[in-house]
Amino acid sequence: MKKLGTTILALGLLIACKTKTAADQSKDTGNISIKKDKDQDGIKSRKDKCPEIAGPIENKGCPWPDMDGDDVPDKEDQCKEVSGPMENNGCPFPDTDGDTIIDKDDACPAVAGPAENNGCPWPDTDGDGILDKDDACPTVPGLPEYNGCPKPKAMVAMEVESSPRNSAAGAKLASAKKTGKSEAKGKKVKANEEFPDAGKLTAGEVNDFSKWNYWQDIAIPVLSEYKDQWKIFPDKRVSVQLVNKDKKPIIGKKLRLLNDKKEIIWEAVSDNKGNAELWIAPRTDNQSLSKKYFITDDKGKMLSAKVTLFKKEQNIITMDAPCLQKRNLDLAFVVDATGSMGDEISFLQAELLDVLRKVEKKLQNTTDVRYGSVFYRDHGDEYVTREFDFSDKAENMVNFIKKQNASGGGDTPEAVVEALDSSIDKLSWSKGNSTKIMFLILDASPHYSEENINKIYDKIRLAAKKGITIIPLAASDTDKETEYIMRTFALLTNGTYTFLTNHSGIGNNHIEPTTDSYEVEKLNDLFLRLILQRSTIPSCQKPSHNEFINKKIEVEIQNKVNPKVKIYPNPTRGLINIQSDKQLDELYVYDFSGKILIKKEKLPKGNNKIDITSYPQGLYLMRCRYGKHWDTFKIIKN
């Protein structure tokens, strides 16, 4: 028994000894393992480039770098210096309008607005400072005392009729009738007779060709109801640049856009820059199903079978054509003369007379100018339209304008359709190669009907075919509906939208246009710039540069301080180097009127190039955006 106990004790000691030995051995093995792979990443320390920090074997034991600390390794991070989420490849989600709501969650990504309205600004459709929810007339600018509605038209008309100028004019007319004499006969009218001095009205310009994406954006949240109502929305744009082999613009060329059935769907005429705008299905109720489009001249000669919509650049067509030496100008003013225009019409007349004299002086040695005009009112008034057909004698046009005054009207829509018919159809526009510009000055929309919608579309299409550029001017009390219609007129005829502003202190309230920004200038200066911008043609013998450039871009150039972007060479024959130490979010090249010709996005930092070799000689404008900062340049192409 004693021997058995001794045996059991010995076995217990042996088991304990073996257990301890195994534990110690395991511990010793662990210590050896740690010494061999200190960061426990599976790579022995002597082969590990980063022995104290775990990393994958593909990177020799080092962690993948993450410069911006967003937990997206640089090898997978498309924005290595700016933190962003994994689902956007390491880049921050864009916030184009800077309202702190990222674009993917922003219902209005191009216009700043509060989060509680899904990133859209609280609507003030008519721009009168009274939010639509508090505005009894949300589409017409008005006054607080009328709950956001304008002063009643009847009240305005009564004020106009009793104004000193209209009273004086009525007294003179009555006197002339009694005596059987007319003061105008046999007498040269003084320049300022019965009118205030020119240069008092202030105005601005919104060229939607300068902000093509913005036009497409705002038409959805802000103006969509008018798009659907009037069934016109120009967004499928075919922009064409014609140039000859000597890099001169081909001016006055008649173009046609055809669908895959070879049906004509739009016609236009190239302007003084060799540019033409063609449109696919601007009627919202008549969309095109064509898979392919063609550009021909008016004789049917094929010019391009590879037609693209404007997204990044134009359709450039090089042709064998001579340089145009001279081009005449047809200039027409179409003016709403209803009673609601009475607060400004005498000032407008003064500005028009001043513009006529300056045009005559500026172009007397280079361009033959003809002048025409239509004043219009509404059905039931003294007249609906009153025409002055084209004449090369400016003084005849001056006398016609001086005889007009504001009266009639009473309801908001006016005889705009009839004015378009008189001006586009009845005035004797030149059939030759000439610049044709029509200023449409008004404060109210056309009468709404299905018949008028069709007539408007047909008249605007005819204007584009004839090469008539329509430049609307919105006067006081214009509403958003009228603004939308006028901007479509301008786009479809290669024009631009203009408007009076409150800065002059003259007239009733002027609606703020739906845009991000604009420059204020004197109305007579604006009109003169737009006329000369479109009627001056480049020299065929030597390099020449149109000096009448887009006002907003001109101001940007004048205010440019320490640009971060460098461009060279300038002047250039076409190739432009762009140097920047930051990524360029956007780059635009414009013609001198402000129309976008080339668009680039997300150019990497360092050196980039763009090529304008295919474009005509002349002056171009470039804008580069990085973050919220813009650098703007003039470029001379020889």
Average pLDDT over residues 128-132: 76
| Cα–chain center distance at 278 | 17
Query: In 263-420, which ranges are continuous DSSP H helix?
Result: 345-363, 394-402, 416-420
pLDDT greater than 90 at residue 5: no
Tokens of 388: 């002055």
Q: What's residue 122's pLDDT?
A: 76
Residues 455 and 443: their CA atoms lie apart, in Å, by 20
Measure Cα distances from 428 to 370, 373, 386, 423, 494 in Å. Answer: 10, 11, 15, 9, 21
pLDDT of residue 22: 45
Is residue 341 classed exposed, middle or buried when 0-12, 13-18 and 19+ CB atoms within 10 A define those classes? Answer: buried
Q: What is the pLDDT of residues 265-276, one digit of tens each?
A: 999 999 999 999
pLDDT at 152: 59
Mean pLDDT, range 342-369, rounded to an integer: 92
218 versus 362: which is more confidently predicted? 362
Report pLDDT for 562. 84
Give me the pLDDT at residue 6, please.
Answer: 53
- 3-state helix, strand, coil split of the chain in percent (to 5) is 30, 25, 45
Q: How confident is the model at residue 10 (pLDDT cuts 50, 70, 90)?
A: low
In this structure, what is the dihedral angle of CA atoms 460, 267, 528, 552, given to the nearest 10 degrees? 90
Provide CB contacts within 8 A for 125, sequence distance 6+. Answer: 132, 135, 138, 139, 222, 480
Q: Please give the pLDDT value at position 34.
A: 57
Per-residue pLDDT at 129? 75
**What is the arithmetic mean of pLDDT over 364-383?**
94
Highest mean pLDDT among 108-122, 175-189, 371-385: 371-385
Q: What are 527-584's pLDDT values in tens digits?
A: 999 999 999 999 888 776 777 888 888 888 888 888 899 999 999 999 999 999 999 9
pLDDT > 90: percent of the chain: 58
Helix (H) or strand (E) holding 510: none
**What pLDDT is attached to residue 88?**
87
Q: How far apart are the first and last CA of the chain?
A: 120
Question: What is each CA distance from 118 to 99, 139, 203, 474, in whole angstroms?
Answer: 11, 22, 33, 31
* The pLDDT of residue 141: 64
The band of 172, judged by pLDDT with boundaries at 50, 70 and 90, is very low
**593, two tokens:** 């009127």
- The whole-angstrom distance between residue 352's C-alpha and the CA centroid of its chain comes to 26
- Whole-number percent of the chain with pLDDT over 70: 84
- DSSP assignment of 400-434: HHHT-------SS-BSHHHHHIIIIIIS---SSSE
DSSP assignment of 448-473? P-HHHHHHHHHHHHHHHHHTEEEEEE
Mean pLDDT computed over every residue of the chain: 85
Length of the chain in residues, anyone?
638
Closest Cα to residue 307, out of 318, 292, 322, 319? 292
With cut-offs at 50, 70 and 90, classify the pLDDT of residue 174.
very low
Q: Which of 190-199, 424-433, 568-577 has the lowest mean pLDDT?
A: 190-199
More confident residue, 548 or 306: 306
The H-assigned helical ranges of 114-201 are 153-161, 164-179
Backbone phi, then psi, for 578, in 5-degree steps? -125, 120
Is the pLDDT at 132 greater than 80, yes or no?
no
Q: Is the pLDDT of residue 187 over 50?
A: no
Question: What is the band of 218 on the pLDDT scale with cuts at 50, 70, 90?
Answer: low
Q: What is the pLDDT of residue 185?
A: 28
pLDDT band at 408; cut points 50, 70, 90:
confident
